[in-house]
Chains A and B, each alone.
Chain A
């Protein structure tokens, strides 16, 4: 079964450093997403990406964050100047149609980001 692949599985970084979280969506999917989950809390939407541009973003997704699809297969989330409160599990997802209507998203296994 096709999978969304995320690397690394765990990233530890010092406060103030930049991190790039990487994702390889399912190959025929057109819509890409980043979500995060702070330990023990809800999964929260960050951003959706379609046709090489951001289609929707949440209040969390401020100027500290950016996304990019640098080639035909990777989808990245960059966090500039990380803060302690950025520590969370970050999930990439992809879908064949908009927001997984009648298909659901496929989520990756996540990258656990720890800011120290």
Chain B
């Protein structure tokens, strides 16, 4: 999910289908990863997180997969709904730091 300036990559899916949003993170030393959802005019909203000692974590309708070998994070959304339409950001952090480093974001559009 890399982007340049205003041009966010966009994923368009049919309502009811599964969505997979990908993220390439930057720091192989990161210990903790989070997926955020951002709706227009709102702040980022926590979806799901995973620590670096795990490769998969499941929530309600969402699953995060972590591949540390290639520094890749993905978010899977099952049975995508219109309310899932938003921009999705991955973020990473090292335990030694207070800051989250955000990725560029992917826009998810759900077609009814």
Q: Which residues of A contact B (CB under 8 A)?
A: 4, 31, 33, 35, 39-45, 48, 50, 55-56, 58, 91, 93, 98-102, 104-110
Contact = CB atoms under 8 A, between A and B. Distances in A.
Contact of A101 (B32, B101, B103): B32
Contacts of A102: 32, 49, 51
Contacts of B42: 109-110
A89 B102 CA distance: 15
Interface in B59-112: 89, 91, 93, 95, 97-105
Contacts of A106: 46
Contacts of A50: 98
21 contacts: A4-B43, A31-B98, A33-B98, A40-B7, A40-B8, A42-B103, A42-B105, A43-B44, A45-B101, A50-B98, A93-B43, A100-B93, A101-B93, A101-B95, A102-B51, A104-B34, A104-B46, A104-B49, A107-B45, A109-B42, A110-B43
A110 B38 CA distance: 11
Given A39-B6, A55-B98, A56-B99, 15 more contacts: A35-B100, A42-B105, A43-B44, A43-B91, A45-B100, A98-B98, A99-B93, A101-B32, A101-B93, A102-B49, A104-B46, A105-B44, A106-B46, A107-B45, A109-B41
Contact of A40 (B6, B45, B93): B6
Most buried by A among B34, B36, B44, B102: B44
Interface string B19-55: 0000000000000101010000111111001010000
A48 B98 contact: yes
Contacts of A4: 43
Contact of B34 (A91, A100, A109): A100
A56 B41 contact: no
A106 B43 CA distance: 9
A53 B8 CA distance: 36
